[in-house]
Amino acid sequence: MAVAQVKTVGYLELLRNNKAFRYLWSGQIVSLLGDWFNLIASASLIAALTQSGAAIGGLFVVRMLAPFLMSPFAGVLADRYNRKYIVMATDISRGFIVLGFLFVREPEHVWLVYVLTAIQSALQGVFFPAWNSMLPDIAKPEELGAANALSSATWSVMLAFGAAMGGIVSGLVGVYPAFVLDGITFFISVAIIARMPYTSSLESNSDTSVLAGLRQYVDGLRYLRQHLDTFAITLHKGMVGILIVGVFQVVQVTIAERYFTIGEGGSISLGIIYVAVGLGTGIGPILGRWWAKDQDAKLRIAIATSYLCAMVGFFITATLSSFEIVLIGAFLRGIGGGTIWVLGTQLLLQIVPNQVRGRVFSTEFAFYTIMTATSSGTVGVMVDGSLGVTGVLIISAIVMVVPFILWTLWIMYGKPDEIVLDEQPALAQ
């Protein structure tokens, strides 16, 4: 394994010197603000119209299952076409789709929430592999760690801020203004990213047939089979999905609606819980990267310990002793899950070659979405049953020991893939 380390740059230096990243980052800020407004509003709308944990779980199943079904196409698209144009096209499409939520007014309209969410989430499944794959194209090797961490921290900050604002708006004036704002932010994001200097580094492929695309996707799966370390890293987001995100995103809606209700349908308390999670997902990766300094071995150790942090957060939340205690548990859950997510992405950015990067990220996202969908659907039913919120959280926390042990054993005895980051110069500044 390559052991040479590149000199890393700071966050302000990155923003000051890399024009392309500034535009991409600015578009991300605007788009994510609307995303979290939409999530709070749609979850609150489902809860208010159905009063059902299973229905809430179903919403999150749809949010995750649609990107999974798109993953074979998303990865090929990201490795075949200009990634900037893919990002812009998906944002424009999502901007129109979310305005359709305005037509959901009665319980018999709930089906439309699921249909629109499926389309929006499928487009998101195309967006993320292209967006992640673009980072090494616009960031130099010494900038990549800061770019990944800053983008992830921005996701977390906007989760906290957007969820809080979404909860307040939904709780005070209703959910529909949140949907309007979400649509507008997508269009603003496109206008910003359109100005980003970017040149695709992908080799042109004259064969654009469906069969050729299928062959490309199979080639990506073959790459993972031949690189077990990369495959093991891609599984982390699946573990986050099935044990952390899929469980908590259903449970927190139930906690807000049934136990600590503030605002219409608990929308304000739900927003506050998301703030706690968002703060955790922002602080955890930054602290983890500060300790690891983008060094391969330390990144792996930080991922292992993050499972334990999320486990503690689940146990604390399970007590339901007060809203403040729930927020502490949510914060620790955010630290654990966020650190696994960001540092896992950093490892992949360092070891996956450009020509297969989109397919690796789409496969990773597929693992995450199908696991989260499975978890959300199961948890939605379990919460309505005899286990309740406390039982679900305790069981999930105990099961987190499994990926912690397996990953620790891989750190000790597995063979890491070589770092290829130095082979990928930034193409646009």
Answer yes or no: are the C-beta atoms of 336 and 308 closer than 8 Å.
yes
Higher pLDDT, 357 or 101: 101
Q: What is the CA radius of gyration of the chain?
A: 20
User: With bands split at pLDDT 50, 70 and 90, how would you rate the model's confidence at 201?
Assistant: low
User: For residue range 68-117, what is the model confidence (pLDDT) as tens digits?
Assistant: 788 777 777 888 888 899 989 998 998 899 899 898 888 788 889 889 98
Of the given ranges (140-144, 278-282, 342-346), which has the lowest mean pLDDT? 140-144
Round to whole Å and give the CA distance between 7 and 269: 43
DSSP secondary structure string for all residues of 313-365: HHHHHHT---HHHHHHHHHHHHHHHHHHHHHHHHHHHHHS-HHHHHHHHHHHH
How far, in Å, CA of 159 to CA of 277, rounded?
Answer: 8
Residue 205's pLDDT is what? 54
All structural domains of the chain, each given as residue ranges with its CATH number in brackets, are 18-197+220-421 (1.20.1250.20)
Closest residue by Cα to residue 186 from 92, 83, 87, 84 = 92
Higher pLDDT: 268 or 94? It is: 94
For the ranges 21-25, 278-282, 378-382, 389-393, which has the lowest average pLDDT? 378-382
User: Is residue 242 predicted with pLDDT exceeding 50?
Assistant: yes
- The pLDDT of residue 421 is 53
Task: Please state the rounded mean pLDDT for residues 309-337.
Answer: 94
pLDDT digits (tens, 9 = 90+) for 112-171: 988 998 898 888 888 888 887 788 888 887 888 888 888 877 776 776 677 667 667 776
Q: What is the DSSP annotation of 92-148?
A: HHHHHHHGGGGG--SGGGHHHHHHHHHHHHHHHHHHHHHHHHHHHHHS-HHHHHHHH
Residues in the chain: 429
76 or 186: whose pLDDT is higher?
186
Q: Which two tokens stand for residue 26?
A: 């600015």
For residues 141-178, b (16+ Cβ closer than 10 Å) or e, as one string?
Answer: bbbbbbbbbbbbbbbbbbbbbbbbbbbbbbbeebbbbb
Residue whose tokens read 């500034």: 22
- pLDDT of 395 reads 93
3-state secondary structure of 400: coil
Question: For residue 4, what pLDDT band results from cuts at 50, 70 and 90?
Answer: very low
The type of residue at 197 is P
Mean pLDDT of the chain: 82
Confidence (pLDDT) at 329: 95
Least confident of 177-186, 381-390, 395-404, 420-429: 420-429
